[in-house]
Amino acid sequence: MMIRKRKLGDFEAIYRLVKEELVPLTRKSFPQLKVTRKELKFRLKRGETYVASDVSGRPVGFLHAVIKEKELWIDMLAVAPGSRGRGYGTALMVSGEK
């Protein structure tokens, strides 16, 4: 497992996780929600994004955090279903809190 700051080449993996893992949950409260690549790129420019990758280097999760008035806000956190339960989410939270 490796946790690192987001690189430009990570965008498609992050976008896929947002579309497949986060948007369906958010639509329960906001049925009209749509996420575009342009909107996500803008959102990722605010704050820091950390990426979790498996042993092959493939991104399997990410955390995006923003600091507002000296407080850390976790904006988005997602881990691919096949990689859950292996500590990726915990490791991402630890990195985000540093």
Q: What is the pLDDT along the chain (98 residues), one digit of tens a residue?
A: 899 999 989 999 999 999 999 988 877 777 777 788 999 999 999 999 999 999 998 999 999 999 888 889 999 999 999 999 999 999 999 998 87
The predicted structure's pLDDT at residue 83: 94
Global pTM value: 0.89
Annotated domain spans of the chain: 2-97
- Kindly state the tokens that stand for 46: 């605010």
CATH number for 2-97 (one of 3.40.30.10, 3.40.630.30, 3.90.550.10, 3.20.20.80): it is 3.40.630.30
| Residue 1: C-alpha distances to residues 33, 52, 58 (Å) | 32, 7, 10
